[in-house]
Amino acid sequence: MKGNSISKSLLSVLLGTSLLVGCSSGASNPSSTGAAPETNNAAPTESAGEFTAKIGGVFILSGSSAAYGEAQKKGLDLALEELNETNKGKLKIEIQYEDTGGKKESAINSVNKLINQDNVVAIIGPTLSGEMLAAGPVANEAETPIFGISNTVEGINDIGEFVFRNSLPESIAIPTAMKQAIEKKGSKTAAFIYAENDDFSVSGFQTMKKTAEEMGLQNLGETTFAIGDVDFSAQLTKIKQLNPDVLLVSALYKEGSMVVKKARELGINSLIVGGNGFNNPKVFEIAGPAAEGLIVATPFSPEKQDEKVQKFVKAFEAKYGSKPDQFAAQAYDSLYIMSQSLLAAGTADRNALRDELAKLKDFEGVSGKLSFDEGRNPIGDAVVVEAKDGKFVPFE
Amino acid sequence: MDFLNPYNLQVITFIVLNCILAISIFITLATGQLSLGHAGFMSIGAYTSSILSKNADMPLFIAILAGALMAGLIALLIGAPTLKLHGLYLAIATLGFGEVVRVILLNMKITNGALGITGLKSLGTYLYDWEKMLGITAQSLGVTVPVIKSLSTLVFMLLLFLLILFLTLRLNSSRLGRAFEAIRADETAARAMGIQVNYYKMLAFIIGSVLAGLCGGLFAHITTAITPNDFNYHKVVEILSFAVIGGTEVVWGALFGAIALTTLPEVLRGLAEYKMIFYGAIMVLVMAVRPRGLIGSDTLQKLFRRNKKHNDQPKGVE
């Protein structure tokens, strides 16, 4: 009977854990299957010049981070619909989506499949920087352009010639926000709090620290917490005693919002500047009125008074019934960049497309102006926004 | 030729890697120990080999081997106190060990914290460098560079796997393997028969950990980037489910589980968002119909009786 009890305990452990796994991967949203209407080819008047380009989209569409991937997919679908309408007779784009579930192996497999089996001309994605660092070399080796739209950590472009991104590295976004905010308020001292078990947050913290040093801010102290924590009293009590002029928070939106909320509850009156992780409307749901005055750098703000941005926001709201976030905006822009470069190349060829992408200059997108430098790093300017009355407005 | 595209090769490479992992958990389970520390040992192997190959510029194979031995060494240290525990208690203790390793990796400077180690030289590139020295290039074979790299990785992994499988089968029919089986069937009876239970349990635990460490090193150099989160709780569940779904009685069961569970997500790729539902449903179904795993010792016996001509186990090869 011994063997039986072992298999029983195995079974109970497996059942328990499969419940856990099931919870975390149950967030996928099966709505909005990218069935964008294709261009009507019934009357191919100019079909002589039309060519088809198949592009792969590699995103997290299931699992705990599926919200990011879904937003990106929505942005791409909207752009696809518009582009196939305007480019009728010249270029037809098709997108094939692959889900990574946030797993590195799956990202590698997806990229390999798209390149070798589906013969895509380029790939947009993957969602996470970690996935890009694993899958980017694969695409680069196969000489297929891979275009990151949400990879902000350092070193993405160093992977190789075929790796691009339009997501501003944090090394540009964070210093912009810090400089504008701190110069205005005349802050002298700073304290840091960040999530130590998340690559995105740690990378953001390093940039913040470096910028603070460059700006001559006095570093009063650094504290950490972990993604998944719900109680931050110990860390924030310590920060309250330090009484910094500015509190720099690098975290994902969920924990970050809770940190902001708790900080205000404890009576910390410092100016709070957050990293890219705060670019999410959910911040206001979690932090409530405590979010007031929070300053964040973002490549995109739906409140920006710009004709292009407002047109995009309106179209997005009409299609999905919600306001687009930064992820949707950058996805939207990426397909416009692809289409522009494909039209310039005149053919769906990977090498020709790469050369055209590298030449990109002064592209006017909804997430600002974009060019690439020699290292294919994006040059653009971040918008600094401030939380006011439950939404992010441009910081003045 | 169409079959030889890097996508298929990559998927098969991951299958082979998971097969080695399945053997590693099978050997620990062979003595009836439910250890959930495999992801921890994998991360020790992965980080040790990555740091050695990247920072110390050691040859890749030596680095991977050192990673495996490091995992074995740590297993020796933590095995002594924890292996006195049984069943679920051991499971919790080893699970705790895995989490501790992960948190340590998150906080060490040399492991680069949560950002992990990136930009490792891939196994394929390394093998291809060797092949070039021997005068074999992609041009001479008429294939592209990615294909030859993936192919070299796969061939290397397959050879390694077959070697490990061969040794495992030899082990099973040796004095050692029979001692493992006796302990698994009934520990007290085994002790009464004069088997040194603690010694054999420790041995099984260390062999399993060395193999897990080896897989860690290989994983790091196939994906070229590792972070502590690659070796979290989910990885443990994944490894454990190979053995549970496939069966823990014979090694073919665990291997079958690894092949099935690695192939399924790729086969189900077409279902997009509904993939995980089917994946979960299949797992539940298997557990409901075959609670002791798909392939048990009785499965093989049945096959043998029906098909006496074949002396090898035909089910497991597939």
How far, in Å, CA of A193 to CA of A205, rounded? Answer: 8
Cβ-Cβ pairs closer than 8 A, A with B, add up to 151
For residues B133 and B210, membership in a common domain is answered with yes
Average pLDDT for residues A13-29, to the nearest whole number? Answer: 42
Q: What is the extent of the structural domain holding B32? A: 6-231
B113 to A202: CB separation less than 8 angstroms, yes or no: yes
Q: How confident is the model at residue A35 (pLDDT cuts 50, 70, 90)?
A: very low
Q: How confident is the model at residue A3 (pLDDT cuts 50, 70, 90)?
A: very low
User: What share of chain A has pLDDT > 70, as a percent?
Assistant: 88
Assigned domain for B318 exists: no
Most confident of A3-12, A44-53, B124-133: B124-133
Query: Which chain A residues contact residue B32 at CB under 8 A?
Result: 2-3, 6
Residues of chain B with pLDDT below 70 are 1-2, 272-273, 306-318
For residues B175 and B205, membership in a common domain is answered with yes
A50-168+308-379 and A171-298 share one fold = yes
For residues B205 and B105, membership in a common domain is answered with yes
For residues B71 and B130, membership in a common domain is answered with yes
Assigned domain for B80 exists: yes
The ranges assigned to domains in chain A are 50-168+308-379, 171-298
Beta strands in A226-293 (DSSP E): 246-250, 271-274
- pLDDT (tens digit per residue) in A262-276: 999 999 999 999 987
Interface ipTM:
0.80
Q: Which of A108, A162, A203 would you mutate first to test chain B, the one with the most B CBs within 10 A?
A: A108
pLDDT of residue A45: 39
Q: Which of B183, B206, B231 is the last residue before a domain boundary?
A: B231
Question: B141 and chain A: CB distance < 8 Å anywhere?
Answer: no
pLDDT of residue A29: 36
pLDDT of residue B310: 52
Q: Of B85, B1, B53, whose CA–CA distance to B218 is shortest? A: B53
pLDDT of residue A192: 95
Query: Which chain B residues contact residue A12 at CB under 8 A?
Result: 88
B225 to A133: CB separation less than 8 angstroms, yes or no: yes
Assigned domain for B255 exists: yes
Amino acid at B31: T
Name the burial class of residue B32, with classes exposed (0-12), middle (13-18) and buried (19+) by CB atoms within 10 angstroms of its CB: buried
pLDDT of residue A212: 92
How far, in Å, CA of A18 to CA of A108, rounded? Answer: 24
Select the residue of A11, A26, A137 nearest B224 (Cβ to Cβ): A137
- pLDDT (tens digit per residue) in A90-117: 999 999 999 888 888 899 999 999 998 8
pLDDT of residue A22: 41
pLDDT > 70? residue A140: yes
For residues B151 and B294, membership in a common domain is answered with no
pLDDT of residue A183: 87
B184 to A15: CB separation less than 8 angstroms, yes or no: no
Assigned domain for B197 exists: yes
DSSP labels for A7-69?
Answer: HHHHHHHHHHHHHHHHHHTTT--------PPPP--SS-TTGGG-EEEEEEEEE--SSTTHHHH
Q: Which of B118, B201, B241 would you mutate first to test chain A, the one with the most A CBs within 10 A?
A: B118
pLDDT > 50? residue A134: yes
Q: For residue B309, give how far its alpha carbon lies from the nearest alpha carbon of chain A (Å).
A: 31
Q: Which of B231, B262, B284 is the last residue before a domain boundary?
A: B231
pLDDT of residue A5: 53
Q: What is the number of domains present in chain B?
A: 2
Q: How far is CA A278 from the centre of its chain?
A: 11
For residues B146 and B104, membership in a common domain is answered with yes
Q: Which of B206, B231, B256 is the last residue before a domain boundary?
A: B231
For residues B178 and B292, membership in a common domain is answered with no
- Are the C-beta atoms of residues A115 and A136 closer than 8 Å to each other? no
pLDDT of residue B231: 92
- Chain B residue with Cα closest to A154: B115
> CATH code for A50-168+308-379?
3.40.50.2300
pLDDT of residue A2: 46
For residues B151 and B270, membership in a common domain is answered with no
pLDDT of residue A23: 40
B14 to A105: CB separation less than 8 angstroms, yes or no: yes
For residues B224 and B288, membership in a common domain is answered with no
Q: Kindly report the CATH class assigned to A171-298.
A: alpha beta
DSSP labels for B76-130?
Answer: HHHHHHHTTS-HHHHHHHHHHHHHHHHHHHHH-TTTTGGG-B--PPPHHHHHHHH
Question: B113 and chain A: CB distance < 8 Å anywhere?
Answer: yes
Assigned domain for B116 exists: yes
- pLDDT (tens digit per residue) in A349-395: 999 999 999 998 889 888 888 888 887 888 877 888 899 888 888 88
Average pLDDT score over chain A: 84
- pLDDT (tens digit per residue) in A294-341: 998 887 888 888 889 999 999 999 999 988 888 899 999 999 999 999
For residues B111 and B205, membership in a common domain is answered with yes
For residues B130 and B244, membership in a common domain is answered with no
The three-point CA angle B237-A14-B41 to 5° equals: 30
pLDDT > 50? residue A33: no
In eight-state DSSP terms, residue B9 is H
For residues B216 and B277, membership in a common domain is answered with no
pLDDT of residue B180: 93
pLDDT > 60? residue A46: no
pLDDT > 60? residue A204: yes
